[in-house]
Structure 1
């Protein structure tokens, strides 16, 4: 069964009376070469977790290249479809759950004996950031996260300082991972085609964060504050979010060589870490 064929997808739709739900971001990839690039980028050693299998297009490719695939699908209507399209694979387990509510650490412990796994997914656009945030903040035993996302989201997560795409999610991703764009994917390669182009984003999870900080909570609080009002200076953003007199924050910034008039989008991860460690002394 060629699941990359639009005709096959239409036939499955008719057979199961399935209609796409825009609210669940159901757009299925039909380009085999892109599927192969996702699998290669995931660098699967033994096991892989997939999020949002749809009709099983990517799942089947993963099943052919790994010992075990655990795929998580929120739409109950798709479970019977997946049982049909993936019938030939005995190394696939389907979990009908909401990824954002699922205890992924338990899944990895139970299904992969707690060993490092890769994550692969064609993520619905509307929950891309919450899913990636969950995967990173829970500090799970993950080797690589390879996801199909909206092109502008991929550009945001791999952006450099002083660019329009650089923001809080950029810092989060680059704190925990090494991001890179593997491939650009036009909307025409999906059924049904979305309104925007996509990209395959690879997040290589680091063994330890890219910068050392004394308190991660304060670090991300500084990051969030710095981007809370992009047009305002760093001094104004920090003073609005920390219970420290404005003149003291100004002095602290100058003491570590950072001009209070700068904006958050110009700061490197190292500078964010330096600010957080310095502010920590004041809010303890």
Structure 2
């Protein structure tokens, strides 16, 4: 079954009475080159189990299942279940779980479904929930090797920006704190049905096994990051005093220890400086 052929897709959807949900950000991939590339770049191989988030009609799911030992896909839209039963009928190494991934116990899921396997995450993420899903995967510290996802082009640029550059944001810091990120390839809007109004890109995050900070320091660090970027055009002293109630004098003092001027903004700090300033503030 050719799941990237528009005629085939329309036929399947009409037989099942399926209509696209704008609320769920549904855009199904119809470019035949994309899903094999995501699977190849996303650790879908022998010895790996793949957790997929959102299935569409199973185009990426099928490519992952051809390569990995097992695929478990979490799909929120129950209307897709009968479609997937048809499109993935040839694969005995695929399991679909009808749940919201943001409410799913992923630690338990991985323990139960992927015992003895390395685990990778692959997904074509809805644009509206890209950052929350990525941060949930990172912050939950589930035992995964990599996250390979298709996101809006602008989101990819921010995710892959250099920490300490104008393009960076809180999500940039988060991703670089937990691992290393790479922009793999672009995907034009015409690769989807229905076509979105923006282009996309596929990125991969390789997770680090090392923990940079202890739990309390990490929590404080991310409070500083979120507060700083919530008012990114203000100086760090102004944003931290208004959001976290830290006195400007304390911020000036922490910046001074690092040889930084009082007018420093958060987007000007690289990862090492950010961690150092946060540690100094926590000490105070």
> Under a length normalisation based on structure 2, what TM-score does the superposition of the two structures give?
0.95
Q: Distance in 2 between matches of 1:180 and 1:96?
A: 30
- 1:177 shift after superposition: 1.6
Q: Distance in 2 between matches of 1:127 and 1:196?
A: 15
Partner of 2:202: 200
Contact 1:115 1:141 in 2 (8 A): no
User: Which deviates more from structure 2 when the two are superposed, residues 249-258 or residues 193-202?
Assistant: 249-258
Q: Distance in 2 between matches of 1:8 and 1:260?
A: 61
Partner of 1:226: 228
Q: Distance in 2 between matches of 1:131 and 1:24?
A: 14
**Out of 135, 138, 141, which is 1:139 matched to?**
141
**Out of 49, 72, 75, which is 1:73 matched to?**
75
Partner of 1:245: 247
Contact 2:163 2:172 in 1 (8 A): no
Cα-Cα RMSD: 1.5
Equivalent positions of 1:91-170 (< 5 A) are: 91-113=93-115, 115-170=117-172
Q: Distance in 2 between matches of 1:134 and 1:242?
A: 23
Partner of 2:35: 35
- 1:241 shift after superposition: 3.4
Q: Distance in 2 between matches of 1:205 and 1:20?
A: 33
Contact 1:108 1:115 in 2 (8 A): no
Cα–Cα, structure 1 residues 249 and 224, in superposed 2: closer, same or farther, change >3 Å? same
User: Which deviates more from structure 2 when the two are superposed, residues 247-256 or residues 142-151?
Assistant: 247-256
- 1:62 shift after superposition: 0.6
Q: Distance in 2 between matches of 1:103 and 1:232?
A: 38
Partner of 1:24: 24
Q: Distance in 2 between matches of 1:244 and 1:110?
A: 44
Q: Distance in 2 between matches of 1:244 and 1:131?
A: 30
> Under a length normalisation based on structure 1, what TM-score does the superposition of the two structures give?
0.95
Partner secondary structure for residue 227 of structure 1: helix
User: Which deviates more from structure 2 when the two are superposed, residues 72-81 or residues 24-33?
Assistant: 24-33
User: Which deviates more from structure 2 when the two are superposed, residues 30-39 or residues 50-59?
Assistant: 30-39
Q: Deviations over 1:38-82 (max 9, x none)?
A: 111112332101110010000011110011110111001000000
1:11 and 2:30 correspond: no
Partner of 1:51: 53
Cα–Cα, structure 1 residues 244 and 229, in superposed 2: closer, same or farther, change >3 Å? closer
Partner secondary structure for residue 206 of structure 2: strand
Q: Distance in 1 between matches of 2:165 and 2:5?
A: 39
Uncovered stretches (5+) of structure 1, i.e. residues with no partner: none
- 1:212 shift after superposition: 4.6
- 1:251 shift after superposition: 2.1
User: Which deviates more from structure 2 when the two are superposed, residues 159-168 or residues 86-95?
Assistant: 159-168
Q: Distance in 2 between matches of 1:32 and 1:206?
A: 32
Contact 2:250 2:281 in 1 (8 A): no
Contact 1:254 1:260 in 2 (8 A): yes
Q: Distance in 2 between matches of 1:248 and 1:64?
A: 56
- 1:243 shift after superposition: 4.0
Cα–Cα, structure 1 residues 218 and 17, in superposed 2: closer, same or farther, change >3 Å? same
